[in-house]
A and B are shown apart, each in its own frame.
Chain A
Amino acid sequence: MRSNKVGWLLLTPTLLLLGVFGILPFIYVLFLSFHQWNPFGASPDRIFIWGNNFRRLVFDGEFLLSIWVTLKFAFFAVFSEIVIGYLLAQLFMREFPGRAVFRTIHTLPLIVAPIVVGSVWRLMTTPSIGIIPYYANQLFGIDINIGRDAGTAFMFTVIMDIWHWTPLVTLTLLAALLSLPKEPFEQAQIDGASRAQIFWHITLPMIRPAILATVFIRLMDALRTVDEVWMLTGGGPGAATRYIGLHIWKVVFPKTDYGYGSAISVIVLYLTLVMCWMLYVGLVAPRNKGN
Chain B
Amino acid sequence: MRHHLKAGGATLLIGLLAGSMPALADFWSDAGAKFQGVTLHGVTESTPPSNYVKDVLAPEFTEKTGIKVEIETTSWDQMYDKAIKDMEAGTGIYDMVYIEQDIIYAYLARNFLVDITKALADDPSLKAPDFSEEAFTSFADYFKNADGDLMGLPMEAFIKIYLYRTDLFNDPEIQAAFKEKTGKDLKPATTHEEYTEIAEFFTEWGQGKDIWGTTAQAHTGHPASWYEFFESIAPTFGVYNWGIDADNNYAASVANGGRMNSDEAKAALKYWLHLRDIAPPESAASTWTETATTFAAGRAAQGLIYGENAAWIASDPEKSRVVGNVGVALPPTEPGVLEQVEAGEGYIGYYDGGAFGLPITSKNQEAALLFLQYIGQDSVQGPWAVAGSRITNTATYDDPAVQELDKKLGGYFTMLRDQGKLFAGAPPFPFHAQVREATAPIFYEILTGAIEPDAGLDQMAAKAEEELTNLGYRK
Contacts and interface: CB of A to CB of B under 8 A. Distances in A.
Interface of A: 38-44, 62, 122, 126-129, 133, 143, 145-148, 150, 233-242, 250-251, 253-257
Contacts of A256: 433-434
Contacts of A148: 220, 284, 448
A40 B106 contact: yes
Given A128-B280, A147-B283, 6 more contacts: A40-B106, A126-B285, A129-B282, A145-B285, A253-B77, A253-B81
Given A236-B219, A237-B448, A126 B433 contact: no
B285 A146 contact: yes
A38 B434 contact: yes
Nearest to A43: B472
Nearest to A61: B441
Contacts of B434: 38, 40-41, 254-257
Interface in B83-110: 88, 106, 109-110
A22 B190 CA distance: 59
Nearest to B283: A147
Contacts, number: 106
A44 B434 CA distance: 13
Interface in B408-453: 430-431, 433-434, 436-438, 441, 444-445, 447-448, 450
A251 B433 CA distance: 10
Query: Is chain A's binding surface mostly helix, strand, loop or mixed?
Result: loop
A41 B438 contact: no
B220 A238 contact: yes
A40 B222 contact: no
B56 interface: no
B445 A128 contact: no
A113 to B, nearest CB: 14
A233 B437 contact: no
Nearest to A239: B441
A126 B379 CA distance: 43
A219 to B, nearest CB: 24
A254 B106 CA distance: 12
A147 B472 contact: no
B433 A238 contact: no
A235 to B, nearest CB: 4
Interface in B195-223: 218-223
B471 interface: yes
A254 B281 CA distance: 28
Given A39-B88, A41-B472, A236-B221, A145 B281 contact: yes
Interface string B49-82: 0000000000000000000000000000100110
Interface residues of B, number: 37
A150 to B, nearest CB: 6
Contacts of B473: 41-42
B110 A39 contact: yes
Given A237-B448, A238-B450, A255 B281 contact: no
B441 A145 contact: no
A143 B220 CA distance: 17
A122 B473 CA distance: 39
Return the 10 tightest CB-CB contacts between A and B, nearest first. Answer: A236-B221, A147-B284, A42-B472, A234-B221, A237-B220, A147-B285, A236-B220, A127-B281, A128-B281, A41-B471
A148 B77 CA distance: 23
B221 A242 contact: yes
B110 A40 contact: yes
Contacts of B285: 122, 126-127, 145-147
B220 A254 contact: no
A65 to B, nearest CB: 9
A241 to B, nearest CB: 7
Contact of A38 (B88, B281, B448, B471): B471
A40 B220 contact: no
A126 B434 CA distance: 29
A127 B283 CA distance: 8
A254 B444 contact: no
Nearest to B444: A238
Nearest to B450: A238
A59 B54 CA distance: 47
23 contacts: A39-B88, A40-B110, A40-B430, A40-B431, A40-B434, A41-B472, A41-B473, A122-B285, A127-B281, A127-B284, A127-B285, A128-B282, A145-B281, A147-B218, A234-B219, A234-B220, A236-B220, A236-B222, A238-B221, A254-B437, A255-B433, A255-B438, A256-B434
A54 to B, nearest CB: 16
Contacts of A239: 441, 444-445
Contacts of B222: 234, 236
Interface string B221-242: 1110000000000000000000
A235 B219 CA distance: 10
Given A40-B431, A147-B284, A242-B221, A254 B445 contact: no
A251 B109 CA distance: 20
Given A234-B222, A236-B219, A237-B221, A40 B282 contact: no
A258 to B, nearest CB: 10
Given A62-B441, A147-B219, A255-B433, A44 B282 contact: no
Contacts of A39: 88, 110
Interface in B274-305: 280-286
Interface string B298-318: 000000000000000000000
Contacts of A62: 441
B436 A238 contact: no
Contacts of A257: 434
B441 A238 contact: yes
Given A40-B106, A40-B433, A237-B221, A126 B444 contact: no
A143 B281 CA distance: 10
A147 B436 CA distance: 20
B472 A237 contact: no
Looking at B106, B109, B471, the one whose CB has the most chain A CB atoms below 10 A away is B471
Contacts of B445: 238-239
Contact of B471 (A40, A133, A254): A40
A256 to B, nearest CB: 7
